[in-house]
Homo-oligomer: A and B are copies of this chain.
Amino acid sequence: MKIGLIGAGRLGKLHGELLTYHIPEAEIKTVAEIYADDVKGWAKQLRILNLTTDYSDILDDSEIDAVLICSSTDTHAQLIIEAANAGKHIFCEKPIDFNIEKIQHALNSVKAAGVKLQIGFNRRFDHNFKKVREIVESGKVGNVHIVRITSRDPAPPPLEYLKVSGGMFLDMTIHDFDMVRYLSMSEVEEVYAQGAVLIDPAIGNIGDVDTAIITLRFKNGAMGVIDNSRQAVYGYDQRVEVFGSKGYVEVKNDFPNSATLSTVEGVISEKPHYFFLERYKMSYVEELKAFVDAVAKDKEPPVTGNDGLQPVLIGAAALKSLRERRPVKIQEVH
């Protein structure tokens, strides 16, 4: 299978390497990157033969079956439309867009073209979260009553990034909005978002929050709560639990090693992974494998366009709730 990579920034390069080294059934034929010169050496090392500044070279290439859209968020919706029109199957990094209409417009194009679309919510493919889902699916916790997520990053992104990121709910919590749908096996009906600026006043100055607690109601009667922080000094803290009528399942963080040292001082062990790639590398591999597999076997991708839309709706409802200081139903923003 031949693939075109659009956007070779940090995430794009990651996808490119992982696909090259871990997925023999597919290969990157062409990379389209505005700053093509910057990635010449990188492309050469991966033995990627074609490098261009114009993504049309990919869309026009009949040899290419699918594209990975890893460019900046503001280009996603348009690229999806064009790629769909060109008959390419599409893997697109999250989010599709911050604007709900634009998202729906892009999804319509995909539907009309009959191509496959997978959204890059990689955490679904993480060994821990995937296992929680399997356990919930198997009925072992019974009817879901409470879904709890703690989701804290080691440090906030630069202010410049935050300004254009859509805010905490659409940049960071969006992963958790996807995760609650994945784990509850239901849809969010209502959101109540409480936020604060506790880490860096500058974040408040640009109209964002850095700490939040978001309560949810699901269609199936269950309830959920997400607590976020932009700064957990000890590392990536992503713990989830699903509690139900038959019990509960939870996962811990991932650690570089399991060494535990006991001295007069106490019992000391390793902090969770601090670096993003250490923590999630395998989930990126698995989501790419799933995409290639869906294309190869003509199956529905495991994370669909609608899965890309719903978290943005929930995020919009959360934003409205935060501002108006009241619970907001999803219908209000859809």
Name A's B-contacting residues (CB within 8 A): 21-22, 24, 45, 127-128, 130-132, 135, 140-141, 143, 145-146, 148, 150, 152, 192, 194, 196, 198-199, 211-213, 215, 217, 221-225, 227, 229, 231-235, 237, 243, 245-254, 256-272, 325-327
A198–B244 Cα gap in the complex (Å)? 9
Chain B CB within 10 A, most for which of A194, A223, A235, A267: A267
Q: What is the CB-to-nearest-CB distance from A215 to chain B, in angstroms, rounded to a whole number?
A: 5
Partner of A227, one of B148, B196, B260: B148
Set of chain B residues within 8 Å of A127, measured between Cβ atoms: 256-257
Q: What is the CB-to-nearest-CB distance from A228 to chain B, in angstroms, rounded to a whole number?
A: 9
A271 touches B266 (CB 8 A): yes
A267 touches B264 (CB 8 A): no
**Closest partner residue, chain B, to A233 (CB atom):** B264
Q: A198-B145, A258-B128 are in contact. Are A223 and B211 (CB under 8 A)?
A: yes
> When A and B form their complex, which 9 residue pairs have the shortest distance between CB atoms, in order from nearest?
A247-B263, A234-B262, A131-B259, A252-B258, A131-B257, A21-B21, A127-B257, A249-B261, A267-B269
Q: Is the interface of A mostly helix, strand, loop or mixed?
A: mixed
Chain B CB within 10 A, most for which of A217, A251, A263: A263
B266 touches A243 (CB 8 A): no
Q: A246-B233, A269-B267, A326-B326 are in contact. Are A196 and B211 (CB under 8 A)?
A: no
Q: A148-B150, A194-B215, A227-B148 are in contact. Are A249 and B259 (CB under 8 A)?
A: yes
Set of chain B residues within 8 Å of A143, measured between Cβ atoms: 198
Set of chain B residues within 8 Å of A257, measured between Cβ atoms: 127-128, 130-131, 251
A176–B65 Cα gap in the complex (Å)? 50
**Closest partner residue, chain B, to A259 (CB atom):** B131
**Closest partner residue, chain B, to A269 (CB atom):** B267
B266 touches A270 (CB 8 A): yes
Set of chain B residues within 8 Å of A270, measured between Cβ atoms: 131, 266-267
A243 touches B192 (CB 8 A): no
Can you list 27 A-B pairs with a CB-CB distance of less than 8 A? A127-B256, A127-B257, A128-B258, A128-B259, A131-B256, A131-B270, A135-B259, A145-B196, A145-B199, A192-B194, A192-B215, A192-B327, A196-B222, A198-B221, A223-B227, A234-B262, A234-B264, A235-B262, A237-B248, A247-B262, A248-B262, A249-B259, A249-B261, A250-B260, A252-B258, A253-B258, A326-B326
